[in-house]
Amino acid sequence: MKRKISVLLILALALSIILTGCGCDHQWKEATCTEPKTCTLCEETEGEALGHNKGELTIGVEATIFNAGTKTRPCTNCGIALTTERYELVSYFEDGKFLFTAADFTKKYQELITSLDSTIYAKESSEEGGYVTDISFGTQNAGICFAKDDVALTYEEKDVKGIEEIVLVFSPQAALDESTAVAEAVILYFMALDPALTVEEAGQMCTNIFNGFTYNSEKVSSLEKNGITHTLMLDGSSNFAILTTLE
């Protein structure tokens, strides 16, 4: 009888070990996106990992007129970036204002000169205190000025945003002596204002705006492309001026 009791005791003990596992007093760590609920002492797990939860696509690095940005889709639970994609600006304006400063524009114009292997030259300069992107070719030159709140931007304001109007000015003499360079300057001008344009499209716009001027008795020619309006006319000093405005 005594022997039978001890066997029962051993069985009971074995059973209790089976029932309580290793005998660990589990300390549970809640499940995460990638790991199930886990005991921090014995690493036993229960259930499954929760899995990531796709959030909204948000801007990680903001695109500029010079560089592409990134958009990431984070997990709403743990915040990890599930996907990251590159994006570029499709236009250089927002709410009736250009996104760049006058100094940025000159830099963009210079970048285009280099990338398209143009023979014209651009630098920033000050004329009567105003900021000008000074373009030179051969013996002639052209200038680009910027305005904000209907007032021309001063040189000191070259890093100020909020430009609403831009004007490219060149003399009839320049158009006569250096017509190819002027056309190039105009094509680069259109492209520096609109990243969506190809060289061919900008070239076509250049042809259209000059043809429009030639055949218009009022000597005004306007064209609209991708929300930007360019108007070619003669200014007060009988120079050619392409005035650029936004909707």
For Zn ion, the binding residues (CB under 5 A) are: 24, 26, 33, 39, 41-42, 44, 52, 75, 77-78
DSSP single-letter state for residue 219: -
- Nearest distance in Å: CB 38, Zn ion: 9
Residue 153 contacts residue 160 (beta carbons within 8 Å): yes
- Nearest distance in Å: CB 10, Zn ion: 25
- Nearest distance in Å: CB 53, Zn ion: 6
- Name every residue whose Cβ is closer than 8 Å to that of residue 159 and which is 6 or more positions away in sequence: 101, 102, 103
- What's the one-letter identity of residue 40? T
The Cα-based distances of 164 to 48, 82, 92 in angstroms read: 57, 39, 12
Q: Is the Cβ of residue 33 or residue 241 nearer to Zn ion in the bound state?
A: 33
Tokens 């000050």 correspond to 126
Q: Where are the beta strands (DSSP E) in 68-213?
A: 69-74, 81-87, 93-94, 97-98, 121-127, 130-137, 140-148, 151-152, 165-170
Q: Is the Cβ of residue 10 or residue 57 nearer to Zn ion in the bound state?
A: 57
- Nearest distance in Å: CB 43, Zn ion: 7
Go through the chain and tell me how many residues it has.
247
- Nearest distance in Å: CB 46, Zn ion: 10
Residue 136 contacts residue 124 (beta carbons within 8 Å): no
- Nearest distance in Å: CB 205, Zn ion: 48
Residue 124 contacts residue 110 (beta carbons within 8 Å): no
- Nearest distance in Å: CB 125, Zn ion: 54
Dist. CA 62–CA 122, nearest whole Å: 27
Q: Is the Cβ of residue 29 or residue 225 nearer to Zn ion in the bound state?
A: 29
Q: Is the Cβ of residue 33 or residue 233 nearer to Zn ion in the bound state?
A: 33
Number of H helices, E strands in the chain: 5, 16
Q: Is the Cβ of residue 1 or residue 18 nearer to Zn ion in the bound state?
A: 18
Q: Is the Cβ of residue 33 or residue 61 nearer to Zn ion in the bound state?
A: 33
Dist. CA 113–CA 187, nearest whole Å: 10
Q: Is the Cβ of residue 60 or residue 143 nearer to Zn ion in the bound state?
A: 60
